[in-house]
Chains A and B, each alone.
Chain A
């Protein structure tokens, strides 16, 4: 079984300041890693994902995350946040299959990012 730990339930940060949202996972098999963002009363939107290759992945809106296998982490960072980044952020994993497969995602409990003006 897999598990995901998001250490911070809430992260307040001032606008234009940098932020890091932490995510650690546990799995006995290889996994894919994801960050999803959820705005109030909306569904989940994929922010970025790590499947293979370069350990640093970036999104189109300035977020990045780095996969660290030895530390089993996939922390999310942004060098300068905006008011519009206020949302709930979920880290998730999914088992990596060699072919086919349709397992669901295992999510962390989420981190509420609060941007203060």
Chain B
């Protein structure tokens, strides 16, 4: 089945230690999104890739960066995680001009 895959499902890191979260998709969609969802809050868009074009939301901290080496994969890099970065990170994809976004299962990040 075509799907959006996120690895790992749970990630524990130390305060200030860089961490990378991974997302892959078999839908061949050209748009990929990263959302941050803190406990009991709505998901919030961090940035998205339209093909190789990176689009950062205005209020996304510089601590968060992303890479998309090819159509299938997209990575979220947190350069120096703080305690406030503990959250569920959701990856989503859509077709160009498509109305619907398809979400992966998420990676729950814990910062110690």
Contacts and interface: CB of A to CB of B under 8 A. Distances in A.
A90 B103 CA distance: 13
Interface string A25-51: 000000010101000011111100101
Interface stretch (B13-21, B38-46, B61-69, B73-81): B38-46
| Interface residues of chain B: helix, strand, loop or mixed (majority) | strand
A53 to B, nearest CB: 13
A100 interface: yes
Contacts, number: 62
B100 A43 contact: no
Nearest to B97: A100
Contacts of B101: 94, 104-105
Contacts of B90: 43-44
Contacts of B42: 90, 107-110
Given A43-B90, A102-B50, A104-B48, A51 B99 contact: yes
A46 to B, nearest CB: 6
A97, A104, A105, A109 — most chain B CB neighbours (10 Å): A104
Contacts of A42: 105-106
Contact of B103 (A32, A43, A106): A43
A45 B103 contact: yes
Interface string B32-56: 0101000011111100101000010
Contacts of B45: 104-106
Chain A interface residue number, banded: 20 to 34
A41 B99 CA distance: 25
Nearest to A4: B42
B12 to A, nearest CB: 15
Interface string A67-83: 00000000000000000
6 contacts: A32-B99, A42-B105, A43-B106, A46-B100, A104-B33, A104-B35
